[in-house]
Amino acid sequence: MAEKLELSIKEIMELIPHRYPFLMIDRVLELDPEREYIKAIKQISINEPYFQGHFPGNPIMPGVLIIEAMAQAGAIYLKKVFPECQDKLFVLAGLENVRFKNPVYPGDTLIIEAEKFKRKGHIIRTTVTAKVEEKVVAQAEIIAAMVEGKDA
């Protein structure tokens, strides 16, 4: 039987170093090491600081922050599943096949699913999809580098 975990914001903050306003994951709904899968959410609030300028009168979540949320979900998976990763810092090393399909608005719940984690040395690749309800808003293959980090 596969171990399926849920993680609270407190547990997430124990795993990754990000803090407001750059912590982009509010909760992990499912983490399944057997399937190499994580499902996490970010509640999108009009109170997010980036909505003041992106765009006034027509607020949408910046694509780069959607990617950041997707990357953070991957980092949470790696730090929770692999004990040797717990004291490491993950930095973005590359993006492939990135597609933005629909905008994300205040009030939306961004659902992030990452799977198929491939490790080669200190480089990790994963396929990530972000959805609002069942509609895909973004997809990417994210490449991260695992480095020794201060306060990782």
Catalytic residue among 4, 18, 27, 54: 54
What is the Cα–Cα distance from 93 to 9, expressed in whole angstroms? 26
18 included as an active-site residue: no
Distances (CA, A) of 90 to 13, 24, 36, 59, 140: 15, 15, 18, 29, 17
Q: Are 61 and 44 in contact (CB under 8 A)?
A: yes
Token pair 């990452």: residue: 114
In the sheet where 123-132 sits, what is the strand order? 5-7, 27-32, 37-43, 109-120, 123-132, 135-148, 88-100
What is the Cα–Cα distance from 88 to 93, expressed in whole angstroms? 15
Catalytic residues: 54
